[in-house]
Structure 1
């Protein structure tokens, strides 16, 4: 079976990945419009715009273009649905992670990752329990098993979904993508230890807004101290071969971040996204 998760496929091929952020669950027309813009993934924003499973499920249906899936001969969607959940990593909130993954999304974004303990707890919440003695047994998963909606959304039966709904690259055949946000001074400081000690993190999103707040520069993402934090995050990700994501709005910002080594570029979707188009061109896509 070919890859179901387009984001993982592109990263395995050494290609840059482009995502659109802040899509509101339930806005069907916007979901359809953004699905046709060519993004590799879009992020349904539930941290700040409300925790709404019924509307998330509605949007997920209109994100799919079944004709394209049929014509491609693959179950891989054109654009992967990711969700940014409400709880910060420090809240250790398993049920939100479990129920979000149970909707059938392919990626989970967790705000404010600060410590090794938080990272390990989040990975555990994302994973089903593994067979005793499995090479990738640790961190031992605790996700409750109820393969109802998610397998149907992925086009699989329950057994197939259970096998594939593990975190990449901890499980090389896993199709689930976990990308926590490091967006605070403590998280920046602890990131090398997090990546060294906790397996199961697919990528790190270098967050600027809350980092700027903590540094006493609210809404000033161009503050040199914020950029220094960005570079510390990127350095740790490179050291442990973990893809690093960041926000970029202007074409020149996309070019700079790609040259620096960021592998995932996120922008705010508009019907004409110059930054996204420039990024694809600059990365050879």
Structure 2
């Protein structure tokens, strides 16, 4: 199984989607469809850690990278979701460099942070070969592979993006276009010059720091556009929306 961090290092442009249904069957279907990763959405969805863990187990079986969007910054939110096997954490609503530093403190082992160590599901509870080369090598490798990705969707983050993305241990940035445009007072007006300027700024700053930029795309047309614009990864829609829209189209076609 190829990690999403390795795909990005190799210059690939991974394609993913959100999981809002909390279903391991949905996770399996997304993998079968050929997606490179999914993001279990714990910010906006009515389920929690147990369902996320089930989706991650399915991801490992099907060879797709599992990420989790947590509801807010806290030690427990970051630690527990990494311990069940998420390859990375998406953090919404970031505003300051200090918050970015907290994310690294909670999500990376020493010397980058102070993530708590315990042989949990992510390392087969200590009974696999994760520690074959010792715990220090395990924590070094885990630090290298674990992605911590704040979302740029506030005016504060946009204004201080260079300082935020400069924090060692922050893996990249995920642009949330809907919340960012809302914060800018131009909700969902993605063709406005000021919005285009904002996302270009984030892209430019991150690439200067050699860090990837993810962005949400509501449809395949927008996804293609964002990749053409130089974004490193697109997260296209979500299982709930794709299913609903597919059924709406079926009903519409039958009743036409």
Give the TM-score taking structure 1 as reference length: 0.75
Unaligned runs of 5+ in 1: 66-76, 130-136, 273-285
**Structure in which a larger fraction of residues adopt helix:** 2
Of the three residues 81, 92, 117, the one matched with 1:145 is: 117
Paired residues, number: 239
- The Cα of 1:223 is off from its aligned counterpart by 3.6
Specify which of 102, 108, 122 is matched with residue 127 of structure 1: 108
- Give the Cα–Cα distance (whole angstroms) in 1 for the partners of residues 193 and 171 of structure 2: 28
Counterpart in the other structure of 2:75: 94
Contact in 2 for aligned 1:19/1:40 (Cα 8 Å): yes
Alpha carbons of 1:165 and 1:34: their partners in 2 closer, same or farther (altered >3 Å)? farther
Q: Point out 4+ residue stretches in structure 1 off by more than 6 angstroms.
A: none
Match of 1:177 in 2: 147
Q: Distance in 1 between matches of 2:232 and 2:140?
A: 22
Q: Distance in 1 between matches of 2:124 and 2:231?
A: 34
Structure 1 distance, partners of 2:49, 2:95, is 27
Structure 1 residues 9 and 119: CA distance shift in structure 2, 3 A:
same
Q: 1:154 to 1:202 in 2, by over 3 A?
A: farther
Structure 1 position 42 matched with structure 2 position 23 = no
Q: Is the 8 A contact 2:165 2:172 kept in 1?
A: no
The answer to which of 31-40 and 5-14 deviates more is 5-14
Specify which of 65, 73, 86 is matched with residue 105 of structure 1.
86
- What CA RMSD, in Å, does the superposition of the two structures yield over aligned residues? 2.6
CA contact (8 A) 1:114 1:191 kept: no
Tell me the equivalent position of 2:209.
240
Map of 1:277 onto structure 2: none
Question: Which blocks of at least 5 consecutive residues in structure 2 are unaligned?
Answer: 244-256
**Residue from 208, 216, 227 that aligns with 1:258:** 227
TM-score normalised to structure 2 length: 0.83
What is the alpha-carbon distance in structure 2 between the residues aligned to residue 164 and residue 191 of structure 1? 31
SS of the counterpart of 2:210? coil
- Is it true that 1:195 corresponds to 2:165 in the alignment? yes
Tell me, what secondary structure is at the counterpart of 2:214?
strand
SS at match of 1:216: coil
For 1:64 and 1:12, the matched residues in 2 are separated by 20
* Secondary structure of the corresponding residue to residue 54 of structure 1: helix
